[in-house]
């Protein structure tokens, strides 16, 4: 009698902001090798990507509702990959920025990331997991009109650096892409009063491929930071 063949379960990856743009591209890139949990504010927002990736599991929760987040992570006992992709870009000069704008930007781009990571640490530790943070070129330098956004991304980089030291069994990767061809980018460019030229920007697929390469890097290496810039045209 032949011995029964047992298949090794796929690693599990949770992607926040997975309903469209870069998050959806990351989901497509990781789907062949991972069981996916796809995060968004609502299940309805995930309809299109779930139609495309029917084996993925929706994980709808408002990331700044911390009681709801704590409840949502309760069923996650083991997590191999956590991709922090969700975030906002509410831009303006310092003179024009309000307390509300600063608070909302830091809340969405930094505090919510820190709390979700904290709550998922037991699940990540169980698998010696990998935390990938979608940062920005604004996390390396601040430009005029981008103060609150850059502050949130500089903070996100500091968070990644501290997490890497505090949790040496985990891998922690900061991805710093330049501007990406997404709906959010179209809004930003419109607010700048410029013509939108997609060829000036990175594609979501290019950045998603960098995320996959980081996740698939053999365990003897720790990809700490990846910086991507569009080729000048």
Enumerate the active-site residues.
149
> Is the residue at 2 inside a domain?
no
Output the pLDDT for position 3.
Answer: 53
For 3-49, the pLDDT digits (tens) are 555 568 899 999 999 999 999 999 999 999 999 999 999 999 999 99
The answer to whether residue 105 scores a pLDDT higher than 70 is yes
C-alpha–C-alpha distance, residues 126 and 35, integer Å: 16
The answer to whether residue 85 scores a pLDDT higher than 80 is yes
Which domain, by its residues, includes 30? 12-228
> Is the residue at 4 inside a domain?
no
Concatenate the DSSP letters of all residues of 50-108 into one string: HHHSTTSEEEE--TT-HHHHHHHGGG----SEEEE---------TTT--HHHHHHHHII
Q: For the domain that residue 83 is a member of, what is the CATH number? A: 3.40.50.720
Output the pLDDT for position 187.
Answer: 74
> Is the residue at 20 inside a domain?
yes
Concatenate the DSSP letters of all residues of 98-153 into one string: -HHHHHHHHIIIIIHHHHHHHHHHHHHHHTT-EEEEE--GGGT---TT-HHHHHHH
Q: Tell me how many domains the chain contains.
A: 1
> Is the residue at 213 inside a domain?
yes
The pLDDT mean for the chain works out to: 93
The tokens for 73 are 């992570």
């Amino acid at each position: 009698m032949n011995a029964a063949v047992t298949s090794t379960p796929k690693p599990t990856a949770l992607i926040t902001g997975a309903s469209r743009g870069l998050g959806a591209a990351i989901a497509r890139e990781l789907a062949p090798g991972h069981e996916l949990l796809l995060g968004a504010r609502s299940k309805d927002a995930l309809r299109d990507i779930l139609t495309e990736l029917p084996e993925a599991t929706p994980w709808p929760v408002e990331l700044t509702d911390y009681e709801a987040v704590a409840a949502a992570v309760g069923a996650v006992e083991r997590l191999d990959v956590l991709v922090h992709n969700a975030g906002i870009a509410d831009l303006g000069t310092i003179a024009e920025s309000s307390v509300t704008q600063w608070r909302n930007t830091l809340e969405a781009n930094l505090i919510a990331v820190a709390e979700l990571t904290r709550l998922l640490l037991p699940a990540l530790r169980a698998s010696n997991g990998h935390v990938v943070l979608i940062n920005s070129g604004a996390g390396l330098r601040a430009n005029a009109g981008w103060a609150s956004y850059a502050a949130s991304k500089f903070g996100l980089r500091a968070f990644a650096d501290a997490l890497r030291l505090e949790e040496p069994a985990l891998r922690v990767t900061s991805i710093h892409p330049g501007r990406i061809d997404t709906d959010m980018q179209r809004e930003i460019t419109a607010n700048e009063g410029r013509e939108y030229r997609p060829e000036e920007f990175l594609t979501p697929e290019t950045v998603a491929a960098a995320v996959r390469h980081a996740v698939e890097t053999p365990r003897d290496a720790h990809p700490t930071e990846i910086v991507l810039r569009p080729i000048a045209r």
